[in-house]
């Protein structure tokens, strides 16, 4: 068997001019025919599978192809859905923008498929269905001509051995047979030459045929680049719409993000829960300590995520309200009392002298970002109000600090809730309890709990801000603006000490 194209060429050249090599020629043609038939089958199968990958209809004009694409149908459905939902719906806006992007992707796909059909599929079809079959037909025609030549030669040989009396007639007959043989030989030679030329052409173009697949990959790469450009151009638009949309879940969102998005001063979950508890939960025993029903808590959190103020159905379950408030605080990406000040809080709480400890805590509290401090003040004022009914609800400043403190402050490196409780609960209680107990000293400003005006104020609404304890029981003087807080590390005891330096005012009073 001939194992290379070069082998075909060499033997073809040796036999194409040899008349007596008819049988060998036919044998060689059979081998070449098998090779070409294999190429034809491979090209046909590839064309068939590649055509099945096209989403549009082949041989249709550009407009019809575009309409028949699934991406076009998707685009139309998304645009229609967006129009039905309207501009007031984020989903509607997204569907309209994305629908237009899908339409542009459909246009790119249509152009890509038309290019594939023109530059790859049509040439493969021409090769498999026209070029190779034509060569194979010539091969069969040559076989027929060789048989005709052999028959003419056999008749001529037979007549040459027959004797007769009419010499002139025999000579004329012999000349006629010779002409038939010569004519048959010429036809064979001509067919051989044509077949040889076509075979040479076929094998010389194998590189061109192989280039169809390079064209395929190049077209696919170009299509994907253009599609990526379409997507990259539209993504900033949809992301900007997503970021600017006001109605986003409050739970799990950053405090500043939620306040900026909603235009609020106090986070909605904090204000809503406080207002509901002021109405029905102030005397509820074990508030913040007794767990709420999971389904009711989930429902309330979902309602608050929708930024609704229609929460009448939850007033009757203060434990669910308290649980939602705890969940909101704990699900903040950063604790309300901040990661940045965590070490400062811990150091301030370690001061042994009670008065100086309060001073140190006030200093740290004053460092809080504005939004954090405002929301902490709001919450602490409410918790202080809650402790006034501690005989009924059993929630003293200490108890509140124990159950709520870990949701206000935790270390950034903490892993699980159990690890948090074990590592910082004692410190956090020592921080939160005095702040609640001396709320009016830390935050002397009055607080309007219905700050947004969206809720019904509880009745009576008096005395919501200040505690009833005697202010004379503690020195309620805050550090001045020039207060210095110095942390000193003792190598012997492996502990920190806080030194507070208080200035003297122009009136000669020590602050």
Give the largest CA-CA distance in the chain: 165
Confidence category of residue 120, pLDDT binned at 50, 70, 90: very high
**How many domains would you assign to the chain?**
2
Cβ atoms < 10 Å from Cβ of 161: 6
Q: Is the pLDDT of residue 463 over 90?
A: no
CATH number for the domain that contains residue 224: 1.20.1270.60
Asked whether residue 231 falls in the same domain as residue 285, the answer is no
The answer on 184 and 35 residing in a single domain is: yes
In a 3-state reduction of DSSP, which class is residue 397? helix
The range of the structural domain enclosing residue 410 comes to: 255-469
**Torsions phi, psi for 3 (to 5 deg):** -105, 0
Q: For the segment 345-376, what is each residue's pLDDT rounded down to a tens digit?
A: 999 999 989 999 999 999 999 999 999 999 99
How many alpha carbons fall within 13 Å on the CB side of residue 122?
9
Residues 354 and 228 in one domain: no
- Do 266 and 201 lie in one domain? The reply is no
Residue ending a domain, choose from 241, 274, 296: 241
Residue 465 lies in a domain: yes
Let me know whether 448 and 327 are in one domain: yes
361 falls within a domain: yes
Kindly report which listed range (66-70, 86-90, 412-416) carries the lowest average pLDDT score: 412-416
Does residue 122 surpass a pLDDT of 50? yes
Q: What is the Cα–Cα distance from 371 to 18, expressed in whole angstroms?
A: 101
**What pairs with residue 484 in β-bridges?**
501
Q: Which of 131-145, 173-187, 420-434, 491-505 has the lowest mean pLDDT?
A: 491-505
Q: What DSSP letter does each residue of 252-264 carry, written as one string?
A: TS-HHHHHHHHT-
Instruction: Tell me whether residue 493 is in a domain.
Output: no
Whole-angstrom Cα distance, residue 101 to residue 55? Answer: 18
Best mean pLDDT range from 137-141, 148-152, 431-435: 431-435
- In this structure, the answer to whether residues 60 and 194 fall within a common structural domain is yes
Between 109 and 17, the more confident residue is 109
Closest CA to 298 of 272, 266, 273, 327: 327
Residues contacting residue 336 through CB under 8 Å, at least 6 positions apart: 255, 329, 372, 375, 376, 379, 408, 409
Q: What is the pLDDT of residue 16?
A: 45
Residues 175, 269 share a domain: no
Q: Please tell me whether residues 290 and 418 are part of one structural domain.
A: yes
- Please, how many CA atoms are within 13 Å of residue 175, restricted to the half-sphere of its CB? 6
Burial class (CB in 10 A: 0-12, 13-18, 19+), 375: buried
**Helix or strand or coil: residue 496?**
strand
Please tell me the distance from the alpha carbon of residue 349 to that of residue 153, in angstroms, as a whole number. 121
Is pLDDT at 258 greater than 80 in this prediction?
A: yes
Query: How far apart, in whole angstroms, are the C-alpha atoms of residue 199 and residue 212?
Result: 20
Residue 462's pLDDT band, with cuts at 50, 70 and 90, is very low
- What are the contacts of 68-73 at 24+ separation with CB within 8 A? 69/106, 69/109, 69/110, 71/102, 71/103, 71/105, 71/106, 71/109, 72/102, 72/103, 72/106
Residue 488: helix, strand or coil by DSSP? strand
475: in domain: no
Work out the pLDDT band at 5, boundaries 50, 70, 90: very low
User: CATH code at 321?
Assistant: 1.10.555.10
**Residues facing residue 510 across a β-bridge:** 504
* Mean pLDDT value across residues 181-202: 84
């Amino acid at each position: 068997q001939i194992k290379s194209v070069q082998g075909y060429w060499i033997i073809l050249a040796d036999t194409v001019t040899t008349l007596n090599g008819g049988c060998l020629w036919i044998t060689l043609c059979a081998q070449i025919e098998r090779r070409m038939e294999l190429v034809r089958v491979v090209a046909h199968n590839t064309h068939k599978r590649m055509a099945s990958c096209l989403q549009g209809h082949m041989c249709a004009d550009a407009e019809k192809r575009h309409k028949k694409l699934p991406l076009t149908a998707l685009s139309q459905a998304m645009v229609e859905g967006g129009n039905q939902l309207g501009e007031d719906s984020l989903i509607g806006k997204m569907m309209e923008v994305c629908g237009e992007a899908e339409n542009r992707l459909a246009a790119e796909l249509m152009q890509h498929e038309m290019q594939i059909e023109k530059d790859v599929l049509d040439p493969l079809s021409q090769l498999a269905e026209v070029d190779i079959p034509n060569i194979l037909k010539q091969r069969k025609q040559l076989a027929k001509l060789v048989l005709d030549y052999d028959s003419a030669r056999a008749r001529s040989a037979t007549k040459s051995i027959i004797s007769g009396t009419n010499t002139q007639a025999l000579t004329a007959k012999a000349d006629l047979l010779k002409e038939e043989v010569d004519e048959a030989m010429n036809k064979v030679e001509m067919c051989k030459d044509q077949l040889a030329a076509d075979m040479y052409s076929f094998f010389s173009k194998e590189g061109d045929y192989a280039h169809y697949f390079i064209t395929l990959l190049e077209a696919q790469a170009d299509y994907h680049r253009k599609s990526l450009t379409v997507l990259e151009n539209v993504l900033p638009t949809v992301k900007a719409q997503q970021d600017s949309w006001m109605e986003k879940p409050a739970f799990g969102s950053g405090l500043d993000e939620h306040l900026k998005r909603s235009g609020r001063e106090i986070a909605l979950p904090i204000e809503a829960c406080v207002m509901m508890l002021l109405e029905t939960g102030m005397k509820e025993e074990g508030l913040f300590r007794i767990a709420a029903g999971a389904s009711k808590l989930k429902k309330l959190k979902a309602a608050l995520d929708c930024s609704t103020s229609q929460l009448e159905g939850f007033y009757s379950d203060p434990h669910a309200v308290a649980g939602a408030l705890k969940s909101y605080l704990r699900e903040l990406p950063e604790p309300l009392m901040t990661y940045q000040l965590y070490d400062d809080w811990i150091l301030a709480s370690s001061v042994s002298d009670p008065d100086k400890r309060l001073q140190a805590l006030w200093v740290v509290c004053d460092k809080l970002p504005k939004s954090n401090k405002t929301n902490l003040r709001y919450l602490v004022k409410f918790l202080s109000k809650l402790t006034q009914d501690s005989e009924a609800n059993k929630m003293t400043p200490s108890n509140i600090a124990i159950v709520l403190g870990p949701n206000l402050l935790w270390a950034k490196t903490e892993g699980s809730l159990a690890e948090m409780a074990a590592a910082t609960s004692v410190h956090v209680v020592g921080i939160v309890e005095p702040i609640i107990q001396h709320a009016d000293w830390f935050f002397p400003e009055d607080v309007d709990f219905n700050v947004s005006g969206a809720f019904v104020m509880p009745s009576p609404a008096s005395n919501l801000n200040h505690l009833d304890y005697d202010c004379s029981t503690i020195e309620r003087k805050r550090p001045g603006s020039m207060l210095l807080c110095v942390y000193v590390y003792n190598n012997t005891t492996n502990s920190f000490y806080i030194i507070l330096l208080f200035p003297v005012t122009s009136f000669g009073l020590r602050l």
